[in-house]
Chain A
């Protein structure tokens, strides 16, 4: 049991964990039946799936001797941008497919922003 073996084991385990979550995320995208539910699957792959693989890359680089922290930066940019694209997909879905009465009434305001057309009729 030397350190190289333990590091290799850790790299393998984190890669497998990451891949499993990406696989489950992709499977969920196909399996779930409702567009908003489908949106939940990629957010999963984007966090723990990519996170696991980046962690494996970091462990590998530190085990080889010259450590690398690039991966933290990838993670940070992913965490900043992933919610925004999910938000846009959700907004498009609300805009095209949902009637106002399907949604809960906003507690403090008259309308949800996507439904606020400024008095214009909703496009079909």
Chain B
């Protein structure tokens, strides 16, 4: 009974949390009134929009997102410096851009979207295309001598973690 009630009232707890936090950030204030109004917004919007996403994404281990975000931010910092050095100090001729095809183990569209976004945000790689049935990802690397190494690193560093978060 209580399960049904929470299912009806809070169809999407993570969305409720996200909307509340976004509201507080938008108002730029952490007083009781803001939080309460944010909670009201965060409770009403999921109920009103629940009908539009019958297959909403299920996240099995949301707490692992924090570690994943920290790793991605660290990688962005490191890779930014590396790519900036490539752009400034290397001649165009000595760069070896290449295409990398990455076979995907994750199946959920949300997980693939996050993986593609991560690949684009970390400088040096841009995700360009998905295969026709969504089983592999086409990535362009700015400077990679060994496409297989890029593929293995992305699979090991990001995809393995996303698989744990989502499945």
Contacts and interface: CB of A to CB of B under 8 A. Distances in A.
A68 interface: yes
Contacts of A44: 80, 83-84, 87, 123
Nearest to B127: A87
A111 B133 CA distance: 8
B80 to A, nearest CB: 4
Given A103-B138, A107-B103, A36 B126 contact: yes
Interface residues of A, number: 49
A106 B92 CA distance: 28
Nearest to A31: B87
Contact of A36 (B80, B116, B123, B140): B140
Interface string A48-63: 1000000000000000
**B interface majority secondary structure:** mixed
Interface in A26-48: 27-28, 31-34, 36-37, 39-41, 43-44, 47-48
Nearest to B141: A40
B25 A108 contact: no
- For this complex, into which size category does the number of interface residues on chain B fall? 35 or more
Contacts of B95: 32, 37
B76 interface: yes
Contacts of A108: 103-104, 131, 133, 135-136
Contacts of B133: 108-109
Interface string B26-57: 10100000000000000000000000000000
A121 interface: no
A87 B6 CA distance: 38
A111 B116 contact: no
A43 B123 contact: yes
Contacts of B99: 102-104
Contacts of A72: 25
Contact of B101 (A47, A79, A80, A106): A106
Contacts of A21: 80, 84
Contact of A79 (B92, B117, B127): B117
21 contacts: A20-B84, A27-B88, A32-B95, A33-B92, A40-B124, A48-B76, A68-B28, A70-B26, A73-B22, A73-B25, A83-B120, A87-B128, A90-B126, A90-B128, A94-B138, A104-B100, A104-B147, A107-B102, A108-B135, A109-B133, A109-B136
